[in-house]
Structure 1
Amino acid sequence: MVAAPLVAQTTYAELLERCAGAAFTDAFAEEGAFTPKTVKGRRYWYFQAGTGDSRTQRYVGPETPELLERIAHHREARDDERERRTLVSTLVRSFNLPRPIPQIGNIVAALAKAGVFRLRGVLVGTVAYQTYSAMLGVRLSAGSLQTGDVDIAQFKNVSVAIGDSTPPVLDVLKEVDKSFRPVPHVVDGRRVTSYAAKGGLRVDFLTPNEGGETGKPQALPALQTDAQPLRFLDYLIHDPEPAVILHDTGIYVQVPSPARYAIQKLIVSRRRPEGFAKRDKDLQQAEALLEALVEKRPHDLKLSWQEAYERGRTWRQLLAEGLGHLRASVRDLTLRVIDVRRSIIPGLDLNFNNPPARYDFSRDIVLFTGTSLGGPVECAVSRETLDDHFGADGLGQEGRLECFLKNRSKIERMTRTKYLSWPIEEPNVVLIKSADAQKLMEA
């Protein structure tokens, strides 16, 4: 993982702010007034335009300090398309941050203009993943960034409650590419959750499956389409974050939080068949994000993990299995942040096959190697441990090495216990210190 320069993150922050303002102004460009409604103790804002029978009311969003500020400055907004286009170009060309292929960018732009994200639709999948590079200030691997699909998700209850809607999805998509056609659903051919165009372009609509298992499409009235219900999607799209797609002047969208995205990818990767290409892509994306999150957003990662882990035995099993398929360094860094032991990983153990040992004078430790899930683990015992607990006090390097070899079985058992069951100190490394020894001997 390579960090993007600070100036790239600053540029993206400016672009995000400008795109948010532009999206708000474009959505409510005509004369009208903003009015609040209170529903179940929470205030929501709507925009009313026209008078009498021609009066219309459109959904704006739940009240937040940011929304109130945009409402207050609504009439002051200026057209800054040129500046936004320059910022997008800078992020893509100067800092090599990812952008979608033009056709995908045009599709997302049309959906945004139609109001999909204003009406609390959430962009998920690889197009959403592309936004995390700029959001987190890291360069994500190119192999996990490619896609010809656009995936949009929305809670069904939100879609029903909003009281506003986009134009029919097919009409919106045909404005971009006239070859778009509805794809009849495999369970009910009268319903449509996907739309396809020439060249392999595809737009899928999804909604959380929060009841019993069902493959039946669910209606999303706010988006005027049906959607495919999916497990684990409710977790993914809860509390989405604003982001910008680096296309044209920038497209203001809503995406899952990167921590939820990474954790959900761990889960769904275990539900795909072995050898399925998307399974590998899920793990690549999860691994890249987790590596970034342990540094950039450790608190978010820990909270998101805890929420998922507390959702039941199946969730815990899938999460643990997913972690077991990551690189050992990323797995251990993640476990350290979420304060979980390696022992939760199915099949993980630390084994020794009489590996050679050597004394490292620069660090005053005896080094030896274990294996875990087929990979090496650097193991060590400190001089103080050998002196205080194994009778090596006063011996030289050769004597301490001989002391280690004499007590090898016991030290390896202690090392295995610490590796599996103690808090992680360093990724893929375990060091037995004098302060650890007594407790490990008693374990």
Structure 2
Amino acid sequence: MQHVESVSAGFFIPIGSRFEEAAINGSAHFAEHMIFKGTTTRNALDIAIEIEGSGGAINAYTTEDQTCLETRGPAELFPHFLEIMSDMLWNSTFPFEEVEREREVIAEEIVMYQENPSDHLHDLLSLALWPDHPLGRPITGSEASILGINAESLKAFTQQCYNCEGLTLAVAGNISHEAVVALADTLLPKSSQAKLPFKQYLHTPSAGSVPFIHDRRNNEQSHLALAFHTSGRHSEERHVLRMLSLLLGETMSSRLFQELREKRGLCYHISSDFSLYEDTGTFEIHAALDSDRLRESFKAIQEVLQEVIKNGFNADELAQAKRFASGQARIGLETPQAQMSWLGDSLTSFGSIVDPDKAREIQDSVTLEQCHALAKKTFQLENLAISSIGPHREKGMQALIDDFQLA
């Protein structure tokens, strides 16, 4: 990207919270925190000053199936940034006192998420979707599980995971491919271990009641999430799922937004989204509602879904959704950081770089018939899980769910 002055770089490690045992849930996230706490040659302050003091920024995150360490800054400083990132990943020392201090920080992070209804709602929904499975556990771990994580277990975890098969370095910006490869050859590990196995999830349709978790809180607002099990990221249906989400709830012109917010004034926030993993996925609807109008809102969501199941969408809706998707995809890849993330996610998730133009072409080929067929297949009670937070009693919420119909 010769027209920019910066470079963005990211190490993508194909290991996340779903690879953990229950007793050490939160290890991937804990390790991600600890690589900022010092190496054999740098302490935590050194790392911050050497990145930020030269005009750069550094960040990391953990998901269910990957860990990423990323930097961005002036292009001429790429060798400096890459050396620091490599040092953090493969030479961190995990000092005992830093681990104990960070344990308290992560405990506060867990409490922060629990006290934020929208964040906690997601954790409850995951538990309802995937009970007794690693995908159902919080990425941060619990206050109990992080007590079982120590310096020795973190060292063992990173030694096993941070040089595993699939480790990817993605770079975008004003630097040549040849320059990146030359630096990578001097700084990256020369051999890689096999990727850790994970517990696969095979959805068994629920024949009885809908899985449901409610957290009763004395809030004025109720938070509601509905999720439907879907196929994973390698399914050809993923492109149709993207269109379905746009049509149903991602935009201001979508069905749910228009019906619940614009026409009925039932809520401020209503949206849909989807998440895809190696072997499974979800289609989700999230709403923040007036607690006094929860029953009415719940029924409105049901009516929108029933209409979609029965009649699908129209040609104008689909054409508009495609234009929106194409425009956002093009805009979304304008920056080096976005290009770097696209490369890293592509290689980590699919083993090859997904061509953005090809992806848009496939998306643009989605038909009304495919959207309708996927809606009918997905929006079934046997695929559904629900979580909620608010002042209502669990018994009252259960009664609403028992009345929920999609046929």
Give the TM interval when normalised to the shorter protein: under 0.3
> Structure 1 length as normaliser, TM-score?
0.23
Structure with greater contact order relative to length (CA < 8 Å, sep ≥ 6) = 2
Tell me which structure has the larger Cα radius of gyration: 1
